[in-house]
Amino acid sequence: MRILLVTRSYPAAGDLYQYPFVHRRVLAYRALGHEVAVFRFDPVRARGTHRFDGVDCETGDFDAFRAALARAAPNVVAVHGLNEALWPPCAAVDPAVPVCAWLHGSEIPGFFCAKVAQVPDPVLRAEQEQVLAGRIMFWRDVMTHWPENLRIAFVSAASRELMRDDLGPLLQDARTAVLHNPIDTDLFAYRPKQAEDRLHVLSIRPYDSRTYGNDLAVSAILALREKPWFSQMRFTLIGDGPLFEETLAPLAGVGEVTIHRGFLTQQEIATQHAAHGQFLIPTRLDTQGVSRDEAMASGLVPVTNAVHAVPEFVDDTCAGLAPADEALALAQAMAEMVEDPALFLARSAAATARVRAQSGHYLIIPRELAWMARQGA
């Protein structure tokens, strides 16, 4: 196929944490012989093209998009992050060409509502509530007059149900699909863990929203200090964002903790996976959890909160699970594996098996391509 991939975001050398899961798709589609052109729609940012990991990404406004559409002459337009801002290029596509749109998070009103609730500043929260109201109106209009060529993919059944909560019967199951984000199990390859790996805990997260639960990770680490074996543990915390310093300040002086400010390439993330055994990834909101699943593919055992879509992807056979907002339960989940190496090793093997069977790229990429190639809505 000739695929024009339209996205709100794409990785760049100085901005690695921008839809890396979309980039993995581009590489996978191309590896299977499909032609893929990447266009980042942004009516404000200056027009241009940047190259990332062998892929050219064009950025531009509506006119630039129309030119890219004419050049690509695609069999299908694949859209990632469809919302009201990204709708103009979608609406401009020839009705004979399928528009296959993935919703990853804040595009879903219910998800965005939960995210807005975590904004502490009342003025900013009020502004975001206005955006939310507009987003709900946008989706009601789109689905009331659903274009024949539009199909929508959700990355979890839970996220589709969130959409249904707001839109009810307007959400037509026949025009939607649940397609998990594919996990590259070649890049994030399984290496059997050793018992001592349970003492090495990794966290790789953005620090730009309370929804990521980084404060819970800090509290969980501090709660473990009373354990007699705490001095044997090593914690590696990696990430960046406006909440970085404030969130991690309580860990200053804790010798067992190493903090690295910045983001990593996916190859560097895989290297970190190889050196650790537990993946501390609390959350207050998730439609899937790509970082968690990549770590699981590498054999790490995730320690997370059983909220939103999380139970769709993990259970206590392959993860340490805590209730919502409970840092002490996260600490206990880590402690259980430190004190029971056999439990850690069993969960490690189960984690990689779960990801491969549910979200491995060898499964998901062919499903996505078949969905995009299907004729009719």
pLDDT tens-digit readout, 5-27: 999 999 999 888 899 999 999 99
User: Are 2-182+360-373 and 195-358 the same fold in CATH?
Assistant: yes
Residue for token pair 């055992």: 301
Is residue 375 very low, low, confident or very high in pLDDT (cuts 50, 70, 90)?
low
- Give yes or no for residue 376 having a pLDDT over 60: no
Superfamily (CATH H level) for 195-358? Glycogen Phosphorylase B; (3.40.50.2000)
Measure the CA–CA gap between 218 and 247, rounded to whole angstroms.
8
DSSP code per residue over 177-225: EE-PPPB-TTTS------GGGGGEEEEEEE-S-GGG-HHHHHHHHHHGG
pLDDT tens-digit readout, 73-123: 999 999 999 999 999 999 999 999 999 999 999 999 999 998 898 888 999
Domain 2-182+360-373 has CATH 3.40.50.2000: yes
pLDDT, residue 281, reads: 98
Are residues 234 and 277 in contact, defined by beta-carbon separation less than 8 angstroms? no
Are residues 150 and 175 in contact, defined by beta-carbon separation less than 8 angstroms? yes
Residue-averaged pLDDT of the chain: 95
pLDDT tens-digit readout, 177-233: 999 999 999 999 999 999 999 999 999 999 999 999 999 999 999 999 999 999 999
| Cβ-based neighbours of 78, under 8 Å, separated by 6 or more | 3, 4, 5, 6, 100, 101, 102, 372
Interstrand relation of 55-60 and 48-52 (parallel, antiparallel or unpaired): antiparallel
- Confidence (pTM): 0.94
SS3 108: coil
Are residues 211 and 271 in contact, defined by beta-carbon separation less than 8 angstroms? no
Widest CA span of the chain, in angstroms?
Answer: 66
pLDDT, residue 360, reads: 97
pLDDT tens-digit readout, 133-177: 999 999 999 999 999 999 999 999 999 999 999 899 999 999 999
Is residue 276 very low, low, confident or very high in pLDDT (cuts 50, 70, 90)?
very high
Domain boundaries along the sequence of the chain? 2-182+360-373, 195-358
pLDDT tens-digit readout, 316-364: 999 999 999 999 999 999 999 999 999 999 999 999 999 999 999 999 9
